[in-house]
A and B are shown apart, each in its own frame.
Chain A
Amino acid sequence: MITLEKRPEPSKLWTAITPILAVVATMIAGGIMFAVLGKDPLVAIRTIFWDPLFNEQFAGFSRPQLLVKAAPLILIATGLAMGFRAGVWNIGAEGQYIMGAICGAAVGLAFYPTESFLIFPLMIAAGALGGFLWAMIPGVLKVKFHTNEILVSLLLVYVAEFILASMALGALRNPEGNGFPGSRNLKEYPSAFNAELLPNTGLHWGVVAAIIAVIFAYVLFSKHMMGFHIRLAGQAPKAARFGGVEPARLILFCLGTSGALAGLAGLFEVSGPAGQISIDFNVGYGFTAIIVAFLGRLNPFGILLAGLLMALTYIGGELASFMLGVPTAAIQAFQGMLLFFLLAVDVLTNYRIKFGTKGGGSI
């Protein structure tokens, strides 16, 4: 008979080990999935986790992609983690990401073809504001009407997707695009283009912003009163209330910050790697970032590593689909599995496992 005994406080050792355990378990389960699909599991795992970084043929192309894919994931996950710690569940980051991209791109396109160094900073501000305002909708509804922020933020993703389609087909459509959907390509507009800062590294302003966000979050959690309040509200809601934490302020802060960061991620993506507003602009970073936040243990530096690992599965997944014909959907299932295993092994952090007969443990 196996029983669980609650630990007085979460084990630090297991907190660090569980993500690694989960990744290993996912590799094994994923290997089985690839075997079922008729692929050699070892080759598939190597293609996903090893080849993008170290294979001579592909690494040249894949390595810079690592930062390009990791930046939005880290930016969004850092914001989400703040809310998750406080028990505020913003799961509509995908929508905030889209709205940030639309607002930022709209500001840039409004100035076309004027050239000025002020345009890009303005776009950044607009992107952050777009995501912030979109996240404020569930925030204000939660504070004013106690509406469930999980459902509202998620439903707003679908609304944002329709706005995106309407923008790509209407207001932001390229007037010189021969009627094709999609905006002007910002890559051809130097003042608005989020170019690589160092050639062939994938390092663009979004990566810089992601690193700043991680440091900002770390300082917030360890040095600032707000960070303390966030942790307190998550771990001991009652104590937080007696301790003078205002729930409304906390909710608005968490949702607003995560929305602004998701909006920034959208802006850096649309002005750089994506280049334009198009119907299929969003690829699910907002949802994958949820996995990144948990994989990183809701810790800013953990998220940095988790974001890089998750970016690797994206790039490796593309490589595996190109080289081995593994469907790209398999990677999505793979990422979902990772979150399952992570949540499953987390039991070891909070509980001690006891073997023995019922009642036999009392000494």
Chain B
Amino acid sequence: MDLSAISPTLLLASLMVAATPILLAALGELIVEKSGVLNLGVEGMMITGAICGFAIAVETGSPVVGFIAAAAGGAVLSLIFGFLTQYLLSNQVATGLALTLFGLGLSSLMGQSYVGIRPPAIEKLNLGPLADIPLLGPVLFNHDLMVYLTLALCVGIWATLKFTRAGLILRAVGENHDAAHALGYKVVKVRLLAIMFGGACAGLGGAYLSLIRVPQWTEGMTAGAGWIALAIVVFASWRPLRVLLGAYLFGGVTVLQLNLQAAGLAIPVEYLSMSPYLITIVVLVIMSAPRKGGKSRASLAAPACLGRAFHASQ
């Protein structure tokens, strides 16, 4: 085993890349859950975004168009969920699962002719002298544009939820949909918009995997990233900046175990590969465990109407 082969600088730099797809998906789901809707279809929307983005980027030769297509693909798929849960009042857990199962099938169907192709390359952002700062340069300032846009999105969501009227309405709908309805807010419309936003973010996260992180298309390539994004929202107690922390934590574990695999640690590869999933479970347990007052962090912070159907009786 040769641990000295692991460079902390490279580790931190790849951590930011590894965290980005999950961060995108988790931020989208955060908005969905803030509006009181639980969409378990993140995995399905992510993988659909991954293939939509990949296919369009290959066909047009433009990664930017690819990312736009991925967001659109994720949003369109999420609309199925939105229509079923908001208008037909179906069970959100079951519908989310259906979205994941359908998305996995649809994506491998769409991806038949894209296996083994390389997508158009994406250049790293040229930040000039910033990238030359020792240590900080390669870690923070040597990435593609999406990494920074995702960070900006995170701060944007935090500010929107905290300071704007739109954020207040979103939270009101999620905390008490009957009261929000009585005040004249369109509960279903707000929720549909939130669901679409979540779908678009998950789609972008998927496309980041297929276009930048891997970059290739393989069936089932998201490998549970959507589920981990869902767990990170719980871990973060529904706070955007903590979502960032959770995604980076998870990115760190992923990158570290990959590096340990490469360094030839005595632990078999399979056991290292399962570590991100196990750590996610451990973190979930810590966050959900009841504290002295009797309620856990997670149950205190969860939007009060999370997962409940809204039906305006006349």
Contact = CB atoms under 8 A, between A and B. Distances in A.
Interface stretch (A102-110, A149-157, A187-195): A149-157
10 contacts: A6-B311, A147-B289, A159-B278, A166-B270, A330-B109, A332-B104, A339-B94, A339-B101, A343-B91, A347-B90
B263 interface: no
A159 B52 CA distance: 28
B105 A336 contact: yes
B108 A332 contact: yes
Given A6-B313, A151-B227, A155-B277, A335 B296 contact: no
A58 interface: no
B49 to A, nearest CB: 16
Given A159-B278, A330-B109, A3 B314 contact: yes
Contacts of B234: 148, 151
A101 to B, nearest CB: 16
Contact of B90 (A162, A166, A344, A359): A344
Given A152-B281, A159-B277, 9 more contacts: A146-B296, A151-B280, A155-B281, A158-B224, A159-B274, A163-B274, A290-B97, A332-B104, A347-B89
Contacts of A346: 88, 90
B36 to A, nearest CB: 17
A350 B84 CA distance: 14
Contacts of B281: 141, 147, 151-152, 155-156
A329 interface: yes
B259 interface: no
A244 B174 CA distance: 31
Contact of A336 (B84, B101, B224, B289): B101
A314 B106 CA distance: 16
Nearest to B278: A159
Nearest to B233: A151
A336 B288 contact: no
Interface string A98-125: 0000000000000000000000000000
Interface residues of B, number: 49
Contacts of B251: none
Interface string B79-105: 010001000111101110110011111
Contact of A351 (B89, B97, B270): B89
A162 B223 CA distance: 12
Contact of A147 (B93, B223, B284): B284
A162 B267 CA distance: 13
B223 to A, nearest CB: 7
A327 B98 contact: no
A347 B91 CA distance: 10
Interface in B261-314: 268, 270-271, 273-274, 277-278, 280-281, 284-285, 288-290, 296, 298-299, 311, 313-314
A37 B110 CA distance: 10
B105 A344 contact: no
Nearest to A333: B105
Given A158-B277, A336-B102, A343-B84, A350 B89 contact: yes
B280 A155 contact: yes
A165 interface: yes
Q: Which of B224, B280, B288 has the most CB of A within 10 A?
A: B288
DSSP majority for the B interface? helix
Interface of A: 3-4, 6, 37, 84, 89, 91, 141, 144-148, 150-152, 154-159, 162-163, 165-166, 169-170, 287, 290-291, 294, 327, 329-337, 339-340, 343-344, 346-347, 350-351, 358-359, 361-362
A330 B91 contact: no
A170 B267 CA distance: 13
What 9 pairs between A and B have smallest CB-CB spacing? A336-B102, A332-B105, A333-B105, A166-B270, A329-B108, A339-B98, A343-B90, A162-B274, A329-B109
Nearest to B279: A155
Q: Which of A154, A291, A347 has the most CB of B within 10 A?
A: A154
A123 B143 CA distance: 53
Nearest to A351: B89
Contacts of A290: 97, 101
B288 A359 contact: no
Given A155-B231, A332-B108, A358-B314, A339 B285 contact: no
A148 B284 contact: yes
A343 B95 contact: yes
Q: Which of B88, B108, B296 has the most CB of A within 10 A?
A: B88
A335 B231 contact: no
A154 B94 contact: no
A141 B224 contact: no
Contacts of B299: 146
Contacts of A6: 311, 313
Interface in B194-228: 219, 223-224, 227-228
Given A151-B231, A156-B281, A351-B89, A340 B98 contact: yes
Contacts of A152: 281, 284
A4 B311 contact: yes
Contacts of B284: 147-148, 151-152
Nearest to B228: A155
A340 B84 contact: yes
B112 interface: yes
A339 B222 CA distance: 22
A4 B228 contact: no
